[in-house]
Structure 1
Amino acid sequence: MGLRHTLDFLLYDWLRAGELTSRSRFADHSRETFDAVFDTCERIAREKYAPFNRTLDIEEPRFDGEKVILPKASKEAYDAFAASGMLSAAQDYEIGGMQLPYTVESAAHTFFAMASVSMGSGMLTVGNANLLMVHGTELQKSVFALNEFSGRWSGTMCLSEPQAGSSLSDIVTRAVPDGGDFASDPLGARYRLKGNKMWISAGEHELTENIIHLVLAKIPGPDGKLIPGTRGISLFIVPKQLVDTQGQLTGVRNDVALAGLNHKLGWRGTTNTLLNFGEGKFPVQGQAGAIGYLVGRPHEGLSCMFHMMNEARIGVGMAATMLGMAGYHASLDYAKNRPQGRLVGPSGKDASQPQVRIIEHADIKRMLLTQKSYCEGALALELYCARLVDEQHTGEPGAANEARMLLEVLTPIAKSWPSEWCLEANSLAIQIHGGYGYTRDFPVEQYWRDQRLNMIHEGTHGIQAADLLGRKVVMAGGEGLRMLALRINGTIERAIQRPEFAEYANALGGALQQVGAATKAAWATGDAREALANAVPYMQAFGHMVIAWMWLDVALSIPAGAAQPPAHVGRLAATRFFYRYELPKIGAWLNVVSSRDATCADMPEEAF
């Protein structure tokens, strides 16, 4: 079944997204308006994105000494996407938005991610603008955020530094108050930034007339020294081109310079840059130092930036999901059309018989079913998280708070699980193609390369695992984990009422109990070093439990009955597969967590 059919079922039959139109914010909408959005996005993705996915992989961004050169298709795709209004789809009517539910916006983005993930669909720009709408001043919102939502400008997030990587407490980019005439600039307290930022996606290009960087930097203390750790971090708006209070370009280039392009394994259509701030290449008013406007209060930059980081993590999860889905559909099509070999009969193979299509072989079906269970399970999780966002913003206070807590717990899984297991799906897509799979004659090798970046994007696997076990499941006395358990138990109780799902209900209940016991055992000594030594196996088990829950909850939306249409047969088979082939894996992962096994932590460096 195609993506659109899958989305329709998950949105309308499972998540009941149509019921959101009963809320005042979405009252102008209906399923017809939602479907019209999908029609538009599907058309743009088909016409402007998919035909050029390979082009972007081959024609990497290059710097001619003055500007970054991208294929013509990149500009045409960006303009079509911006013109669709999807950059501001979830924003208020008053600022040019469509007031779409985030659930619908998230589903609409799947078409672009599946067609060409590295072409991009404004994920960082939207995240940048959304952060400013929460933490910026009214003028910062109108000048910067609204121009990003319109597509006139684009945005980035600048966190990592060459010497610090993901260790934000070790950043050394400095921001000192600008002592000139503009120290009290109406756009915000004005600072001069000096430092280097690495791995900045879309940090330099000609797709828009301006690029708005959100930069983490430290304001020195009275003694001129930087405050150690994350406490000293502040957040700044640093535009590539300086602007006035009306949002017009002043013609003055800010002191932000491209230091180099990173040439990546995948996502080659998106520029990835090393930027120098304040090196003096473009001095402003005769001084080195990039002009930056403080966002929020000094020393609270990291908490502001997490607004964008968490949004980006879910976005990476969706991108990973759709790359897996692209590989699944490509290998399914290949398996249906590629003749090879013969089926084994009771007496072996009969060479006199004609060859069969490879989809008739049991092992090919195993690989396809694995992909289906991973990718559609991950898609259900991402859309479920999107639905929680809508609940958080438009639900009753109690429901909104519950949604917020659930999102805290699920965000590390929404980012990490698809990036690991949809990578495995892409690997299986190559395997189904055989030797052709690792040639450029077929797209699956590119999907794998693009996918491999997602386990690192927006926080590595280890960082997500430490966040899950070290913070999320123990925060507020374990309240978030308790709320998640209540929801899972609700699914189990409904499943027990249907005999065909009793096996899965019992297995899921057992998995929930195992995860709960392992969580307690990991923290039994109160020693974080012991608890977190096996954080990644914990996250793998936790994620498998969550996806098993998704599949059972989805299956419960299928009406009971012996005769099911092929799409439902496929969903029920994927559910059965995940419970019989995948969920049992969690025991091995949780054994080392529960025993606080120190095999890895105690390995002496010299023994490697």
Structure 2
Amino acid sequence: MSALRFTVDFLLNDWLCATSLTQRERFADHSRETFDAVLDTCERIAREKFAPFNRTVDVQEPHFDGERVVLPQCTYDARLAYAQSGMLSAAQDYELGGMQLPYVVEAAANGFFACASVSINTSMLTSANANAILVAGSPVQQRVFAANEFSGQWAGTMALSEPQAGSSLSDIATRAEPDGEGVEGDALGARYRLRGNKMWISAGEHELTENIVHLVLAKIPDADGRLVAGVKGISLFIVPKHLVNERGELTGERNDVALAGLNHKLGWRGTTNTLLNFGEGRYPVRGKAGAIGYLVGQPGEGLKNMFHMMNEARIAIGMAATMLGLAGYYASLDYAKTRIQGRPVGQGGKDASQPPVPIIAHADVKRMLLAQKAYGEGALALNLYCAKLVDEGRTAPVDEAGRAKLLLEVLTPIAKSWPSEWCLEANSLAIQVHGGYGYTRDFPVEQYWRDNRLNMIHEGTHGIQAADLLGRKVRMLGGSGLKLLAETVNATIQKAMAHASLSGHANALTRALADVGSATKAAWANENADEALANAVPYMQAFGHMVIAWMWLDVACSALERDAALSDQRNVGRVSAMRFFFGYELPKIGAWLQVVRARDMTCADMEVDAF
């Protein structure tokens, strides 16, 4: 069994007690055995179909031959194996061909694929796309589009950004005008013609599936033909690459969606990333330009409906970042155990007559490895905790479900941002452990770093997540989400106080929680958003470190409750990683929170010409 599997098993079963979910009606058919079978299957497919080709998809980038996007055969084979495993619909109803697995088990199982080769697996957006249609789409849209995506027949994308607007969705210019022709397809929804350009569309064009379902944000013009300013004018549309009828059958007609170019990236090179033109007339539909799109939900509710997809995608990106961090950790740990070099300083380090030792014997190498372990496994604990909150929000009694949803709202920016920053740092340390070899292609760690660098930008940059956290999440409902988080953290602190070896760490977490709370109040003391949000990113970094410290303290409690004598070396490792995080990382929050409390405007007030 792999090191990752041991960690996942502990977090799922010993820490989160995921099997307790089988007491809920939705998961009653499941047990520890069925959960293990899913994990076994995914670990095997990842090992056989993904991991051996991670370098292949990095060097054989997608290219356009003038007619189609060309990908290496291993990408087709990996995607087929993944689709056949049933993981695209693992958490869905039986009626949709799903397994009705808890989301936390689905998330853990998908982690094996991300660890093996994050850029082969393009299915994350397909599942999120289909889930958004399940929430906001009509019954016919659910049956035709979502069902075919869950089966693996079709793929899905998220088309938000535009070249001129980037993350500023209020400035998008894609137009959606009603299409009045009475042709077959009205059963699929109110039909519009879309014209515009979308940028950074992952898996936007390929031949892996028979159809691609684009979820597109666009604005419906008013009576004077003008686009409504701001985000309130944004609507959501289903725009298939190939047109279909209400039975889900391809009509044989290509929609007016054209590939304008492939973006060649630092990492995630195995996944196509595209600029798409909607309605430019390259593939006119029934004699005229304009991509056919079907309205999802009500006009003007596009962002609300799309965020059903965005929140799930943000947790998935956090998991992808986590798995890349762990992949680098495992690679550098293996290297450190086998690379012979130097002699311990305190044991005759200058005596050349002494035999050289594996570099893991050196204290600084141990420091770098322990940091990677603390970042990676701490991030994994956070992401699985959030995934279980999804299950609680869907299946717990009403009061408990409400609390889970509220807590998840506060934690989602951290679940995406913290792993994408600190597991990237873990990848940097993995390169450092390898020394000069680390930045050569002889070893995989340089690719892990390149792949992970995308995740600080993907699905909302650090700045966007930070503004969401400090500007909205900790203040919503009168601060009730932050209060609930504090109550939940305090429950762990009380539990840790029962262990003499953890009481000092419990006190440190108490101080960190209080510091975050006081900084939150200080940031908004003048109710001036410009001042409060000037240092939103340092605030988020401190907030995230406090949350990861909480995760580690709770994990350590669980390890000690099951192994008080620490007879299992894996539990020794967990407690040591917790100690490292509290000793080396948690103290950093002081500097971050100082500029937040002071509402320091050094950055905001910097004159452009002074740069």
For the 8 Å contact 2:258–2:282, the answer to whether it is kept is: yes
* Structure-2 residue corresponding to 1:438: 439
Deviation by residue 1:177-230 (Cα, 9 ceiling, x = unmatched) = 002123981100000000000000000000000000000000001111000000
In structure 1, the partner of 2:253 is 252
Match of 1:285, SS state, is coil
In structure 2, what is the equivalent of residue 403 of structure 1?
Answer: 404
- 1:390 and 2:403 aligned: no
Query: Is the 8 Å Cα contact of residues 174 and 197 (structure 2) preserved in structure 1?
Result: yes
Aligned counterparts of 1:346 and 1:405: Cα–Cα separation in 2? 54
Structure 2 counterparts to residues 71-90 of structure 1, below 5 A: 71-90=72-91
Runs of 4+ in structure 1 displaced over 6 angstroms? none
Structure 2 residue aligned with 1:561: 564
Please say if residues 194 and 278 of structure 1, whose CA atoms lie closer than 8 Å, have aligned partners that are also in contact: yes
Alignment of structure 1 residues 205-244 onto 2, 5 Å: 205-244=206-245
**Shift in Å at residue 349 of structure 1?**
2.6
Tell me which residue corresponds to 1:366. 367
Q: Distance in 2 between matches of 1:182 and 1:413?
A: 47
For the residue of structure 2 that corresponds to 1:186, the secondary structure is helix
Question: Percent identity at matched positions?
Answer: 73
- Could you tell me the TM-score, scaled by structure 2's length? 0.99
Aligned match of 1:99: 100
3-state SS of the aligned residue for 2:293? strand
The 2-side partners of 1:236 and 1:83 are apart by 28
How big is the shift at 1:497? 1.3
1:477-533 Cα shifts (integer Å, max 9, x gaps): 001101000000000011111111001100000000000000000000000000000
The one-letter amino acid of 2:189's match is G
Q: After TM superposition, list the pairs within 5 Å mapping 1:451-462 onto structure 2.
A: 451-462=452-463
Equivalent runs, 1:141-540 vs 2, <5 Å: 141-182=142-183, 185-345=186-346, 349-540=350-541
In the other structure, the counterpart of 2:585 is 582
Q: Which amino acid aligns with 1:591?
A: Q
* Structure-1 separation of matches of 2:341 and 2:348: 19
Contact 1:183–1:190, Cα closer than 8 Å, also in 2: no
**Residue matched to 1:112:** 113
- For the 8 Å contact 1:183–1:189, the answer to whether it is kept is no
In 2 relative to 1, CA 121–290 (structure 1 residues): closer, same or farther, beyond 3 Å?
closer
CA contact 1:182–1:190 (8 Å) conserved in 2: no
Are 1:243 and 1:250, in contact at CA under 8 Å, matched by a contact in 2? Answer: yes
SS at match of 1:494: helix
Partner of 2:20: 19
Secondary structure of the residue aligned to 2:382 is helix
User: Is the Cα–Cα contact under 8 Å of residues 81 and 121 in structure 1 kept in the other structure?
Assistant: no
User: In 1, are the aligned partners of 2:556 and 2:575 still within 8 Å (CA)?
Assistant: yes
Aligned partners of 1:70, 1:185: CA distance in 2, in Å?
Answer: 35
Are the structure 2 counterparts of residues 30 and 346 from structure 1 closer, same or farther at C-alpha, using a change threshold of 3 Å?
closer
Match of 1:42, as an amino acid?
E
* 8 Å contact from structure 1 (residues 320, 451) kept in 2: yes
- SS at structure 1 position matched to 2:188: coil
Instruction: Give me the TM-score of the superposition, normalised by structure 1.
Output: 0.99
What is the distance in 2 between the residues matched to 1:469 and 1:183?
48
Q: 1:184 to 1:86 in 2, by over 3 A?
A: closer
Deviation at residue 121 of structure 1 after TM alignment: 4.9
Give secondary structure in 2 for the equivalent of 1:488. Answer: helix
SS in 2 for 1:343: coil
User: Contact 2:467/2:533 (CA < 8 Å) preserved in 1?
Assistant: yes
Give the residue type in structure 1 aligned to 2:251: T
Does residue 541 (structure 1) correspond to residue 557 (structure 2)? The answer is no
2:176–2:193 contact (8 Å) kept in structure 1? yes
Shift of 1:68: 0.2
The letter for the 1-side match of 2:179 is D
SS in 2 for 1:231: helix
C-alpha separation between the residues in 1 aligned to 2:83 and 2:43? 14
Return the offset for 1:347: 6.3
Q: For residues 220 and 249 of structure 1, what CA distance do their matches in structure 2 show?
A: 30
Distance 1:392 1:563, change over 3 A: closer
Q: Cα distance, 1:564 vs. partner?
A: 2.2
Counterparts of 1:304 and 1:480, CA distance in 2: 22
CA RMSD in angstroms comes to 0.9
1:594 aligns with 2:601: no
Count of equivalent residues: 608
CA offset digits 1:104-138 (Å, max 9, x no partner) = 00000010000000001511000000011110000
Name stretches of at least 5 consecutive residues in structure 2 with no aligned partner: none
* Partner Cα separation in structure 1 for residue 173 and residue 348 of structure 2: 71
The answer (yes or no) to whether the contact 1:212–1:237 under 8 Å persists in 2 is yes
**Distance across 2 between alignment mates of 1:245 and 1:348:** 75
Secondary structure, aligned partner of 1:260: strand
Over residues 4-31 of structure 1, what are the superposed CA-to-partner deviations in whole Å (9 max), with x where a residue is unaligned? 0000100000000011111111111001
Give the Cα separation in 2 of the matches to 1:162 and 1:48: 35
8 Å CA contact 2:184–2:245 kept in 1: the answer is: no
Deviation, 1:344, is: 1.4
Q: Tell me if structure 2 keeps the 8 A contact 1:177–1:183.
A: no
Per-residue CA deviation, residues 121-180 of structure 1 (Å, 9 max, x unaligned), is: 511000000011110000000000000000000000000000000000000000000021
Instruction: State yes or no: 1:603 paired with 2:596.
Output: no
- For 1:188 and 1:353, locate their aligned partners in 2 and report how far apart those are by CA, in whole Å: 77
Q: Match for 1:584: what amino acid?
A: P
**Contact 2:185/2:246, CA 8 A, preserved across alignment:** no
Deviation at 1:80, TM superposition (A): 0.4
Bigger shift: 270-279 or 180-189? Answer: 180-189
CA contact (8 A) 2:62 2:69 kept: yes
| Contact map agreement 1:259 1:275 (CA 8 A) in 2 | yes
Matched-pair contact (CA < 8 Å) for 2:343–2:349: no
1:563 deviates by: 4.2
C-alpha spacing 1:244/1:345, structure 2 compared with 1 (3 Å): same
Q: Distance in 1 between matches of 2:28 and 2:180?
A: 50
Cα distance in 1 for partners of 2:374, 2:574 equals 8
For residues 470 and 10 of structure 1, what CA distance do their matches in structure 2 show? 32
CA contact (8 A) 1:261 1:271 kept: yes
Q: Could you tell which deviates more after superposition, 303-312 or 555-564?
A: 555-564
- Secondary structure (helix, strand or coil) at the match of 1:291 reads strand
Tell me how far apart the structure 2 counterparts of residues 566 and 286 of structure 1 sit (CA, whole Å).
69
Name the SS for the 1:391 alignment partner.
helix
User: What SS class does the counterpart of residue 21 from structure 2 fall into?
Assistant: helix
Gap runs ≥5 in structure 1: none
Output the CA distance in 1 between the equivalents of 2:164 and 2:155: 27
